[in-house]
Amino acid sequence: MSDPNNEIVKGIKLMALSLPLMVAGPIILSIGFRALNNGVYIWAVLGIILIIVAIIVAFLGVKHILNGLFEK
């Protein structure tokens, strides 16, 4: 088993990585919705991908933090 402190630090780093993604994803998605009128889909798709990645990274961060806190 790994050191619990390392697990917590890894989880905090993942949460810090997810924070900019949580901000950038909806901004790019709203830009993409405005660009849909011109037939440009790449911004909407990129925004959706960033939001999904932000959710996954945040989930992994919480998982690592909880593993570090409750490890035997």
Query: CA 28 to CA 30: how far, in whole Å?
Result: 5
pLDDT digits (tens, 9 = 90+) for 33-63: 999 888 889 999 999 999 999 999 999 999 9
Q: Are 28 and 50 in contact (CB under 8 A)?
A: yes
* pTM above threshold 0.85: yes
What pLDDT sits at residue 26? 96
Containing H/E element for 52? helix 42-69
Looking at the chain, the whole-number percentage of residues with pLDDT higher than 70 is 96
What pLDDT sits at residue 3? 76
pLDDT digits (tens, 9 = 90+) for 58-67: 999 999 999 9
